[in-house]
Protein backbone atom coordinates (compact mmCIF):
# COMPACT_ATOMS: atom_id res chain seq x y z
CA UNK A 1 0.00 0.00 0.00
CA UNK A 2 1.37 3.43 -0.98
CA UNK A 3 2.41 5.86 1.73
CA UNK A 4 -0.27 8.30 2.90
CA UNK A 5 -0.01 11.98 3.78
CA UNK A 6 -1.81 14.28 6.17
CA UNK A 7 -2.08 18.09 6.48
CA UNK A 8 0.55 19.97 8.44
CA UNK A 9 0.74 23.50 9.81
CA UNK A 10 1.71 26.25 7.39
CA UNK A 11 4.58 27.51 9.55
CA UNK A 12 7.66 25.51 10.41
CA UNK A 13 9.11 25.09 13.90
CA UNK A 14 11.67 27.80 13.12
CA UNK A 15 8.96 30.26 12.13
CA UNK A 16 9.39 30.17 8.34
CA UNK A 17 6.34 30.38 6.08
CA UNK A 18 5.83 27.33 3.90
CA UNK A 19 3.95 27.29 0.60
CA UNK A 20 0.42 25.81 1.11
CA UNK A 21 1.09 22.98 -1.35
CA UNK A 22 3.67 21.63 1.12
CA UNK A 23 0.71 20.51 3.24
CA UNK A 24 0.42 17.56 0.86
CA UNK A 25 3.93 16.34 1.64
CA UNK A 26 3.79 15.19 5.27
CA UNK A 27 3.87 11.40 5.62
CA UNK A 28 1.67 9.81 8.25
CA UNK A 29 3.70 6.60 8.39
CA UNK A 30 7.10 7.97 9.39
CA UNK A 31 8.35 7.93 5.79
CA UNK A 32 8.34 4.14 5.66
CA UNK A 33 8.23 2.54 2.23
CA UNK A 34 6.79 -0.84 1.34
CA UNK A 35 9.16 -3.46 -0.09
CA UNK A 36 7.57 -3.20 -3.54
CA UNK A 37 7.98 0.59 -3.48
CA UNK A 38 11.67 0.25 -2.66
CA UNK A 39 12.03 -2.30 -5.47
CA UNK A 40 10.38 -0.17 -8.17
CA UNK A 41 12.41 2.89 -7.18
CA UNK A 42 15.73 1.02 -7.16
CA UNK A 43 15.16 -0.91 -10.39
CA UNK A 44 13.45 2.04 -12.05
CA UNK A 45 16.36 4.27 -11.08
CA UNK A 46 18.87 1.84 -12.59
CA UNK A 47 16.96 1.64 -15.85
CA UNK A 48 16.29 5.38 -15.97
CA UNK A 49 19.94 6.24 -15.26
CA UNK A 50 20.94 4.27 -18.34
CA UNK A 51 18.25 6.00 -20.41
CA UNK A 52 19.40 9.40 -19.15
CA UNK A 53 22.97 8.84 -20.31
CA UNK A 54 21.95 7.41 -23.69
CA UNK A 55 19.63 10.19 -24.84
CA UNK A 56 17.37 11.61 -22.13
CA UNK A 57 13.82 11.30 -20.91
CA UNK A 58 14.60 9.27 -17.79
CA UNK A 59 12.30 11.44 -15.69
CA UNK A 60 9.42 10.20 -17.83
CA UNK A 61 9.85 7.03 -15.78
CA UNK A 62 11.13 8.19 -12.41
CA UNK A 63 8.67 10.99 -11.59
CA UNK A 64 5.63 8.72 -12.15
CA UNK A 65 7.34 5.93 -10.19
CA UNK A 66 7.80 8.30 -7.24
CA UNK A 67 4.11 9.23 -7.46
CA UNK A 68 3.25 5.52 -7.62
CA UNK A 69 5.29 5.04 -4.42
CA UNK A 70 3.12 7.62 -2.65
CA UNK A 71 5.10 10.83 -3.15
CA UNK A 72 2.91 13.81 -4.19
CA UNK A 73 3.60 15.35 -7.60
CA UNK A 74 5.55 18.43 -6.56
CA UNK A 75 7.63 16.45 -4.06
CA UNK A 76 8.24 13.79 -6.73
CA UNK A 77 9.47 16.52 -9.07
CA UNK A 78 11.92 17.76 -6.44
CA UNK A 79 13.01 14.34 -5.15
CA UNK A 80 13.74 13.18 -8.69
CA UNK A 81 16.48 15.82 -9.04
CA UNK A 82 18.84 13.99 -6.68
CA UNK A 83 18.75 10.97 -8.97
CA UNK A 84 19.37 13.13 -12.03
CA UNK A 85 22.41 14.61 -10.31
CA UNK A 86 23.93 11.22 -9.46
CA UNK A 87 23.15 9.82 -12.91
CA UNK A 88 24.58 12.83 -14.73
CA UNK A 89 27.70 12.90 -12.55
CA UNK A 90 28.52 9.22 -13.02
CA UNK A 91 27.75 9.40 -16.76
CA UNK A 92 30.03 12.44 -17.13
CA UNK A 93 32.84 10.58 -15.37
CA UNK A 94 32.37 7.58 -17.66
CA UNK A 95 32.32 9.73 -20.81
CA UNK A 96 35.51 11.46 -19.69
CA UNK A 97 37.17 8.13 -18.91
CA UNK A 98 36.41 7.09 -22.47
CA UNK A 99 37.84 10.33 -23.86
CA UNK A 100 34.50 11.85 -24.92
CA UNK A 101 33.99 15.40 -23.61
CA UNK A 102 33.89 19.08 -24.68
CA UNK A 103 34.07 21.47 -21.72
CA UNK A 104 34.33 24.50 -24.02
CA UNK A 105 30.83 23.86 -25.35
CA UNK A 106 29.50 23.36 -21.82
CA UNK A 107 30.80 26.72 -20.59
CA UNK A 108 29.43 28.55 -23.63
CA UNK A 109 25.80 27.66 -22.80
CA UNK A 110 25.96 27.16 -19.04
CA UNK A 111 25.00 30.68 -17.85
CA UNK A 112 21.81 30.74 -19.95
CA UNK A 113 20.77 27.24 -18.89
CA UNK A 114 21.43 27.88 -15.20
CA UNK A 115 19.45 31.14 -15.25
CA UNK A 116 16.52 29.39 -16.94
CA UNK A 117 16.63 26.52 -14.46
CA UNK A 118 16.44 28.86 -11.49
CA UNK A 119 13.39 30.67 -12.89
CA UNK A 120 11.66 27.45 -13.96
CA UNK A 121 12.14 25.52 -10.71
CA UNK A 122 10.96 28.42 -8.55
CA UNK A 123 8.01 29.09 -10.84
CA UNK A 124 6.63 25.56 -10.95
CA UNK A 125 7.02 25.10 -7.20
CA UNK A 126 4.90 28.21 -6.58
CA UNK A 127 2.31 28.01 -9.36
CA UNK A 128 1.20 24.36 -9.48
CA UNK A 129 -0.11 22.16 -6.67
CA UNK A 130 0.66 18.43 -6.74
CA UNK A 131 -2.52 17.35 -8.55
CA UNK A 132 -2.03 20.00 -11.22
CA UNK A 133 1.60 19.04 -11.65
CA UNK A 134 0.76 15.34 -12.05
CA UNK A 135 -1.84 16.08 -14.74
CA UNK A 136 0.48 18.47 -16.58
CA UNK A 137 3.31 15.94 -16.40
CA UNK A 138 1.06 13.15 -17.65
CA UNK A 139 0.12 15.21 -20.71
CA UNK A 140 3.77 16.08 -21.41
CA UNK A 141 4.94 12.46 -21.33
CA UNK A 142 3.61 11.36 -24.71
CA UNK A 143 4.96 14.24 -26.86
CA UNK A 144 8.32 13.97 -25.10
CA UNK A 145 8.32 10.23 -25.81
CA UNK A 146 7.66 10.96 -29.51
CA UNK A 147 10.58 13.40 -29.49
CA UNK A 148 12.79 10.69 -28.00
CA UNK A 149 12.02 8.42 -30.96
CA UNK A 150 13.16 11.02 -33.50
CA UNK A 151 16.93 10.67 -33.49
CA UNK A 152 18.52 14.09 -34.18
CA UNK A 153 21.14 14.49 -36.90
CA UNK A 154 24.07 16.95 -36.90
CA UNK A 155 23.91 19.76 -39.42
CA UNK A 156 25.61 18.71 -42.64
CA UNK A 157 26.14 22.27 -43.95
CA UNK A 158 28.08 23.43 -40.88
CA UNK A 159 25.79 26.42 -40.19
CA UNK A 160 25.14 27.36 -36.56
CA UNK A 161 22.78 29.67 -34.68
CA UNK A 162 23.89 33.25 -33.93
CA UNK A 163 25.07 33.79 -30.37
CA UNK A 164 21.91 35.60 -29.21
CA UNK A 165 19.67 32.81 -30.52
CA UNK A 166 21.85 30.13 -28.93
CA UNK A 167 21.58 31.81 -25.53
CA UNK A 168 17.82 32.27 -25.94
CA UNK A 169 17.30 28.62 -26.88
CA UNK A 170 19.37 27.34 -23.98
CA UNK A 171 17.67 29.72 -21.54
CA UNK A 172 14.35 28.24 -22.69
CA UNK A 173 15.67 24.71 -22.25
CA UNK A 174 16.88 25.59 -18.74
CA UNK A 175 13.49 27.14 -17.95
CA UNK A 176 11.70 23.96 -18.99
CA UNK A 177 14.25 21.72 -17.26
CA UNK A 178 13.99 23.61 -14.00
CA UNK A 179 10.22 23.25 -14.07
CA UNK A 180 9.68 19.71 -15.35
CA UNK A 181 13.09 18.08 -16.04
CA UNK A 182 11.61 15.27 -18.17
CA UNK A 183 12.92 15.45 -21.71
CA UNK A 184 15.48 18.21 -21.14
CA UNK A 185 18.19 15.80 -22.26
CA UNK A 186 16.33 15.26 -25.53
CA UNK A 187 16.00 19.01 -26.06
CA UNK A 188 19.70 19.46 -25.31
CA UNK A 189 20.63 16.75 -27.80
CA UNK A 190 18.58 18.46 -30.52
CA UNK A 191 20.09 21.87 -29.76
CA UNK A 192 23.66 20.58 -29.47
CA UNK A 193 23.32 18.52 -32.65
CA UNK A 194 22.11 21.69 -34.39
CA UNK A 195 25.47 23.20 -33.49
CA UNK A 196 27.26 20.45 -35.41
CA UNK A 197 28.29 18.03 -32.65
CA UNK A 198 28.06 14.31 -33.34
CA UNK A 199 25.58 12.45 -31.16
CA UNK A 200 28.11 10.81 -28.83
CA UNK A 201 29.88 14.11 -28.10
CA UNK A 202 26.51 15.86 -27.77
CA UNK A 203 25.53 13.24 -25.17
CA UNK A 204 28.66 13.93 -23.14
CA UNK A 205 27.98 17.68 -23.16
CA UNK A 206 24.31 17.07 -22.37
CA UNK A 207 24.99 15.20 -19.14
CA UNK A 208 27.19 18.03 -17.83
CA UNK A 209 24.60 20.69 -18.67
CA UNK A 210 21.85 18.51 -17.16
CA UNK A 211 23.96 18.16 -14.01
CA UNK A 212 24.19 21.95 -13.72
CA UNK A 213 20.43 22.39 -14.22
CA UNK A 214 19.65 19.90 -11.45
CA UNK A 215 22.23 21.31 -9.05
CA UNK A 216 20.50 24.69 -9.38
CA UNK A 217 16.93 23.34 -9.19
CA UNK A 218 17.34 20.92 -6.26
CA UNK A 219 17.95 23.55 -3.54
CA UNK A 220 14.87 25.44 -4.75
CA UNK A 221 12.62 22.41 -4.28
CA UNK A 222 14.21 21.53 -0.93
CA UNK A 223 13.70 25.09 0.33
CA UNK A 224 10.03 24.93 -0.71
CA UNK A 225 9.54 21.63 1.14
CA UNK A 226 9.09 19.59 -2.04
CA UNK A 227 11.58 16.81 -1.29
CA UNK A 228 11.33 13.32 0.28
CA UNK A 229 14.74 12.05 1.35
CA UNK A 230 14.13 8.29 1.60
CA UNK A 231 12.55 7.76 -1.85
CA UNK A 232 15.05 10.22 -3.35
CA UNK A 233 18.11 8.37 -2.00
CA UNK A 234 16.83 4.96 -3.12
CA UNK A 235 16.09 6.28 -6.59
CA UNK A 236 19.42 8.13 -6.78
CA UNK A 237 21.38 4.96 -5.96
CA UNK A 238 19.86 3.17 -8.94
CA UNK A 239 20.29 6.29 -11.05
CA UNK A 240 24.03 6.43 -10.32
CA UNK A 241 24.65 2.82 -11.32
CA UNK A 242 22.50 3.25 -14.40
CA UNK A 243 24.39 6.38 -15.46
CA UNK A 244 27.66 4.47 -15.74
CA UNK A 245 25.95 1.64 -17.61
CA UNK A 246 24.20 4.03 -19.99
CA UNK A 247 27.35 5.95 -20.88
CA UNK A 248 29.06 2.70 -21.84
CA UNK A 249 26.04 1.59 -23.88
CA UNK A 250 25.87 4.99 -25.62
CA UNK A 251 29.50 4.90 -26.70
CA UNK A 252 29.03 1.37 -28.03
CA UNK A 253 25.82 2.32 -29.87
CA UNK A 254 23.59 -0.10 -27.98
CA UNK A 255 20.61 2.11 -27.16
CA UNK A 256 18.20 -0.25 -28.96
CA UNK A 257 18.60 -2.64 -26.05
CA UNK A 258 16.41 -0.67 -23.64
CA UNK A 259 14.39 1.81 -25.73
CA UNK A 260 11.37 -0.51 -26.45
CA UNK A 261 10.88 -1.17 -22.74
CA UNK A 262 10.99 2.56 -22.07
CA UNK A 263 8.22 3.21 -24.63
CA UNK A 264 5.86 0.72 -23.01
CA UNK A 265 6.64 1.96 -19.50
CA UNK A 266 6.13 5.64 -20.39
CA UNK A 267 2.75 4.99 -22.05
CA UNK A 268 1.58 2.96 -19.04
CA UNK A 269 2.74 5.52 -16.47
CA UNK A 270 1.28 8.43 -18.45
CA UNK A 271 -2.14 6.80 -18.32
CA UNK A 272 -1.73 6.30 -14.57
CA UNK A 273 -0.92 9.98 -13.93
CA UNK A 274 -3.84 11.12 -16.09
CA UNK A 275 -6.18 8.89 -14.07
CA UNK A 276 -7.11 6.62 -16.98
CA UNK A 277 -6.79 3.66 -14.62
CA UNK A 278 -5.73 2.94 -11.04
CA UNK A 279 -6.71 4.99 -8.01
Q: What is the pLDDT of residues 217-245, one digit of tens each?
A: 999 999 999 999 999 999 999 888 877 77
Is 128 a domain residue?
Answer: yes
Q: Higher-confidence residue: 219 or 29? A: 219
Task: Please report the pLDDT score of residue 97 as a whole number.
Answer: 81
How many domains are contained in the chain?
1
Task: Please report the pLDDT score of residue 21 as a whole number.
Answer: 44
Task: Please report the pLDDT score of residue 183 as a whole number.
Answer: 80
Is 253 a domain residue?
Answer: yes
Is 21 a domain residue?
Answer: no
Is 127 a domain residue?
Answer: yes
Is 4 a domain residue?
Answer: no
Please, is 4 exposed, middle or buried when counting C-beta atoms within 10 Å of its C-beta (0-12, 13-18, 19+)?
exposed
Could you write out the DSSP letters of every residue in 206-264? HHHHHHHHHHHHHHHHHHTT---HHHHHHHHHHHHHHHHHHHHHHHHT-GGGTHHHHHH
Cβ proximity of 85 and 52 under 8 Å: no
Task: Please report the pLDDT score of residue 14 as a whole number.
Answer: 36
The stretch 36-40 carries a mean pLDDT of 92
pLDDT in tens, 68-126: 999 999 999 999 999 889 888 887 887 788 777 667 777 888 899 999 999 999 999 88
Task: Please report the pLDDT score of residue 151 as a whole number.
Answer: 60
Is 262 a domain residue?
Answer: yes
Across the chain, mean pLDDT equals 77
Is 5 a domain residue?
Answer: no
- What domain range is 218 assigned to? 34-273
Amino acid sequence: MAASYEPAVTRTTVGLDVHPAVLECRRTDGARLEVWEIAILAVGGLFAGAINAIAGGASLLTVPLLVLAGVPGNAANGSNRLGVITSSATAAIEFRRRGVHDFRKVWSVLPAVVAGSLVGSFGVSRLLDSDQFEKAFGFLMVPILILSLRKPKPRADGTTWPRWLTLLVFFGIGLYGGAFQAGIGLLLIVALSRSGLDLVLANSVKVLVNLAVSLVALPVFVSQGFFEWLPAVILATGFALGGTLGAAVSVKGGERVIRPVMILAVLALSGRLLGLYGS
